[in-house]
Amino acid sequence: MMLNMKNKTLATWLAFLGAPLGLHRFYLFGRHDRLAWLILLPTVLGYWGFQRVQEFGIEDYLSWWLFPIFGFTYASCCLNAIVYGLMSKEDWNARFNREAATDTSTGETSWMTIFAIVLSLIVGASVLLSSIVYSFQRYFEVQIDEAHKISGSD
């Protein structure tokens, strides 16, 4: 039956663009997929951290923990996009199109798939590194401020 065929290019783009909402998981595994629903939790927490930065400023300690969560979630979904895009046609169809032949065209890699892989690599790496840098920068700034308080210098 051709109705349940999962397209590798579409899944790759959904993992890249709709990652924080779990769209790729809903597409591949359906609306009853628990991981798809769980992806929403770090997305909401990260968004809440972003809102806290907007409301309370960069000095808000809770936002330092919440804000990077979104970045790590998005980076992991970009990694999913890369993994999906690099799967061979046979592996893709064996995993997601079990009822079809392993050489079915829905598992083929096109230029659009390659473009999604490249964007996922660039954006995912940038978001991951930015999240790490933000977390460490805020941590070390607090440490320096505390050291100045202890030493009595401003």
Which H or E run includes 48? helix 34-56
**Is the overall model pTM greater than 0.85, yes or no?**
no
Residue 2 has pLDDT above 70, yes or no: no
Higher pLDDT: 4 or 45? It is 45
What is the per-residue pLDDT across 28-65, written as a single tens digit (0 to 9) for each?
999 999 999 999 999 999 999 889 988 988 778 888 88
Which long-range contacts does 86-90 make (Cβ < 8 Å, 24+ apart)?
Answer: 86/117, 87/8, 89/8
| 12, 84 contact by CB (below 8 A) | yes
What is the per-residue pLDDT across 127-149, written as a single tens digit (0 to 9) for each?
999 989 988 888 888 888 888 88
